[in-house]
Structure 1
Amino acid sequence: MLNRPKPNKGESLTGYLQRVAQANYISSHELWRWFILKGKHYPQSSMARVIDFVPGCLLDLKKMTCSLNINKETILLMTFQEALSKFYPYGTSETQLLSSKILSGITLQTRWFCPECLEEELFYKLIWQVKEIEVCPKHKVELISCCPRCHRSIPLLDVKSKVGLCSYCNSSLADAPRINTTDMDKSRCDDWNYLLGVNDNFLTMGSNYKCNFNQILASKLIYTACNYQETYSKETLKKSCFNKNTQQVLLQTARGTRVGSRVLHIDNFLNLIRLLRLNIEIIPKINVLTSFLDSLLSQKETIKEKISCIAPWCKSYKKPGSLHRTLTSVKSLIGGENLKYYLYCNECGIEYAIDANTGTLIERGYFINLAWYKVRPLLLENKTLAQVALELSQTKDRIRRCCIFLFANSLVEKNNIPFNVPEQHEDSKLEIMLEEINKGVRAKGFWRNQGWIYNEFLFYWFRSDVQVAYIQRKIPREDKRIDKLQKQERVLEVLNNLLDNNISITIAKVAEAMSVCPETLRQWEVLKINKAKTEQKSIRHKIHT
C-alpha cells in the first residue's frame, strides 16, 4: 500500500479498511479481495460483520500487518474479538470464537453513526455497532441509522463504501440532523469501552477448581451477591437484588447442573453486574475463596440424586440417582395438574415427573399402579380380558396394553395373557422398530405402515429398550439438502430468468428468488453469477450501440 493511514482509537476494522481503500484510490471490496484468505469466497457485503468480529477467519492478518505497517494486536483492537476473548481461555481458536453465542444479537448489522463525531474526525467507531449504545457519550446526540437524504441503511462494508458518505446517494452523513438527548447511560459506554480494550480476562478464579467460563462467571456473581462471605449462604443470596429465577439459573450454572448446553449471554452478564452495582473492571480481580466454592458446590443433594425408580421389577428399584432428566422442565396439563422435573428410568423405560403441588414423584403412565399392582394379580388368576376390565372399571384397550406390557417385559407368562400375542421378539423386527425411532418416526401409524397387527406392535413397542430409545430420540429436521447438480440447475434457471427479463443480476436477487440467504448461496460453490453479470453487460452494451 502506498498510503497507510494510522488506525484511530476505538475505530472499527471495516471502517478502517474503507479509509485505507479511499487513501489508495481503490474500492473497499478490492482491498478486501487483496487481503482475503486463500480458499475463501470473494467479498460480499453480508459477510462484513465477520471482519469486525473475528477477522482472522476471513482475512490474512500477516499480509495485513506487512502491507499496512501495523501489528496484529492493533488490528484485533478494532474488532469484537477482544471482548470475546475475555470470556474464553487463552489459546481458544478463532473458529471457536466466531461460533460463540455470547455476543449473538448484541451488535447491529448496519452502520450507525454520530454526525458530530464524523464532522470532527472522519472515522467509524466500533462501539457504535453495539445495540444498547444509542447515544454518543461525547456529544449527547442520538446515533443515526440511515442516510439523511435517501433514508437507506448504511452497509458495514459495501463495494461503494466510503467513510462519512452514503453508499447509495453519496450524501454526507455528517449532514444528518442532530437529535440532542439527556437520556444516556454512561455506565453502558464504560462497560463496552472496557470490554473492547486490552484488559484482564474474566476467567481468573483464585482456586484450584477446574470450571468452564459459565461456572466461573456464575460463581463470581453469586460470591459478590453474598457479600464476599467465607461460605455460601442460601439466605444471603435470597436477600440479594437477584430474583428467584435468576438465583436458580446462577446456582445451576455454577454447579454445572443445568439441563442442556446453555451459554451465559453477555447481555445477561452485563445486566447482572449492573444490578449488583459492580464495576466491570472488578470482575477479573474477584478471587472466589475456596471455602466459599466448597460450600457452594457441595450443597444438599439435588432432587434427581434423591429419588429413584419405583417400579418393583426394575433393577434400579429404590436406587437413588437412578433416574435421568429429560429436556422438559415444567408443564401445565389440561386437567389443572402441574408437573415439573421430567425424568425416566434407563433400565425399565418408565417415565416420571414431580407433582409441583405436593413435591412427590409420580408415574407419567399407568404401568406401575395399574399394570403391576392391579392387572397382574388378576392375570395370575387366569381372568379374561373382559373380566379384568369390568373389575377394574377400565377400558379393554387399556387393559390390553397393560397385559402386553407385562408379557413384553417378562413380568407374566404367555399362558397368563387372555388373547393372542407373539411367542417371542424377533431380532429383525426389533431392529426395524429401533431404526424407525432413530429416524424420528412417531408411534402413531407406525404399526400400520409396517403391516403389523396391533398386538404385535405393542409387544415390541413396550419393551424397555424400545421405550428408552424413543425417549432419547432426536427428532431430525426436514432434510432440505439437495445435491450439487440440482443446485447448479436451480442457480442457472434463476440466472436465465433474470437475463430474459432484463433484471439486473446481483447475489441478493438470486438468493431472494431461490429463498436462501446469500451466505448459503456462496457456500454451495456453484455460483455462475459473475459470468451471468458479464453476459448481461455485454447484451446491454450491444443494445445501446
Structure 2
Amino acid sequence: MKERLTIRPKPQINESLSSFLLRVCKENNVEFLDMFRFLYRDDSSTRFRINKIHFIDVFPKQIIKYKELSQLTNLSKKEINKMTFTPVISKFLGPSNSKEEMLYMSMLLRQIDGTNRWFCPECIKENGYHKLIWQVEEIEICNIHNIKLHNSCKFCNNKHLYVHRETPICHYCHSNLKDSFEKIDLNHEYIDWQNSKYKDWEFLLNSSVELSPKYRGITKEKAILLNMLYVSQFKEEKFISTKNKVFSKDMTNAFKMYIQGNDNKKTQRPYLPFIFKVISHEEINIRLSEFSSISVPDKYIESVFNQFKDETLGTCLTPWCKHYNTNKMMQKTNFFYKNYSKYKLASVCTSCFVKFGYNRKNGKWEEIGDQIERIQKVSKLFSQDLSFPKIREICGYGIVNVYEFCGYALYHGLLPKKIQNNYKFDLESNAVRECFVKLAYIGTNKTTYFQKAKQLFGWSIIQFYYYLAFPEVQKYFLFESKLDQSTDHKDIAAEIRRKIKQFIENDKKISVRSIAADLGHDGSSLTRWGLKNLIIEGREKQIKKHKQKLWDEVRRFIEQKRALQELFTYAGICNYTGYNKDYFVKNHYELHKYIVGETKIEKQKEYNVKRMRFLRDVIIARDFLRKSHQKATLKETANYLGINEQRIAYHLRKEGIKWGNLDLLK
C-alpha cells in the first residue's frame, strides 16, 4: 500500500487522526477501510469492527501498527499521537503502566462521541477537516465562530457518519455539509462556559504539560489524587476525610487508600469526571492549568500517608557505622527519595549516610532501599582485587553505582589495608566541600558533577566518589545545597538581562536553553537559582515586540497595495510576511481576524469589478441585438450570451437598477 500513497498531505492544526487519514485516502484514491485493515494490529485485544473505528482517535496504540502508519504518512510517532487523545492518557500513566492503559482508554471513551462525527460548517468550509476536540461530549460549540456544532445533515436530518470518504458530503443525500445552518444566537454566559471547557481539553491534549507537579517516589496517578484531595479540602494543612468539600468521607478515603497502595476493591483512581468535579465546584472554580500548578505541601502528603503515631526516630542499622544501634546521629530529611511514599519519618544517619524510615505497611523501622546490601556485596568483590567492569558483570549493577559504592567503601575503611593503601587521596575535608559547592553551582546531578570535577580538578572517577562520601559533602547535599539554591545570583541575573537584550536586537529566539548555553550553564541550574522567570519575561517581551512588528508589516503591505489600487489576498500577505495562515491563527488570532476582514473588503471590490465587467458585456450584447433589429429583452439578451436570465437579473438587483435603466451603467 505504501507505493500507492504518492500524495502525503500535512496534518492541520488540532486535526484528528481519522480526519487526516480520510484526507490522505481521498487524495490518493484509496478506500479508508482498506487502509484501516492494513494498519490493524493482528494481536490487538479489540476485534476489528466498523463501529470501533473511532478508537484510532482515542488510543491508536491499542489497535494499529505505528511503524506501517509512520511509513505511509511520513509522520513520527509523536506527530501521530498529537492527533489523538493519547496525551490525555499519558498524563495519568508513566511509560511502564501499559496494563492500566485500557482503564483510562475506557474513561476517555465515555467522554467522547464515537458514533457520529461533529462539525462546524464554517470551519469545514474554510479548512476542510475535522478537529479532534469536537468529539468531546462537553464541547458543544465552535470556539472560533461561536456557533453550535452539528452532527447531522440539515437537508435529510441523518446523522453524519464518523468515517465517510467524502468528508464534507452527507453519506445519505449527498448534500454539502459546508452549507451554512440556521444561526442560533448564543448568550455570553454559555459561550464563556464553553470556552472554559475548550481551555481544559486543550490543556489535556497538550503533551508538554502534566496534570500535577512531580512528587519524588510518587506515581502520576497518586500525584493527581494528592492534588485533588488538597484542593477539594480547600488547601488545609493536614488531610482530614470529613473536611473534604467535594467528595463524601467514603470516597475521600477510597482515594487515600489508593495513594497508600492498599490492594482494596474500594480504592478509586483519579478519573477525569472526579477532577472536573473538583475544579468546577462553586467555591473552587479553577481551570485545569491552575489545578496542575498547585503544589501540595510535604506536611499534607505526610498526613495522607500517616498510619502510625510514633514520632521517635529509630536507630542506625548499618553494621559498620560507629553509631550502630543508636539514633544519636539520626536526622530527619526534608527530601523525597525513591520509595519515600512507603516510609514515614524518612531519616538519614549522619555518620554512615544510609537512609531509614518506618515502613507504612508493617510499622517497622528499616532501611530505605538496599544500599547496605549493595555496598557489602561490592566491597567483598573489590577486596578480591577484581576490576570494576568485572564487579559490574558479577553484581549486575550499573558501572556508576559500582564506582560510587567502591568510593564509599574506601572512605569508610571497609576494604583490606592493602587495597586501601592503593587509593590514597590527600585533599582536606574543607577543601573537598568547597569543590563540591562549586560543582553544585555549575552542575545538576552526579554525572555532570563528575564531568566538571574532571575538567576543573583532574579527579578520576574513583577519586570523585571517594570525596563524595565525605560527611561534609553528604551533609551539604542533604541539608545545605537547597538553601544555596535560593541565594541571590545578582551577577548572573545581570548577565541574563544583557543576553536577553542582545537576543531581542538580533531577532534570535529567547529560551531557557539558548540563554543558558550562551552563559555556559544548563537550564536546570538557572531554574534552581530562580532565574527562569527572567528569561520567561524576556521571551514575553520579545513576543510582544514581534507581534507589533508583524502588525506594522501587514498594515504597511495593505496601505501600499491600496495606494497602487492593486487587489490583495490572504496568501499575498502570507508571502510578504513569510508566515502561513495557520501561524496567524495559532499565534496571532486578532491579527488573523484583521487580515480576514481586510481581504473580505478586497474580495468585494474584486467582485464589484467583475460584476461591472459582466454588465458591460450584457449592454454590448443588448445594443448589438437592437442594431440587428432583433428583440433586445432580458430573455433574448441572455439567450444570445448563452446564460441564464436569472444571472443577469441577480447582478442588476445587486446594482439596484432595472433592465429598462441599464444605460445608467454606461
Report the TM-score, using the length of structure 2 for normalisation.
0.41
**Structure ID, larger Rg:** 2
Would you tell me which structure has more helix in proportion to its own residues? 2
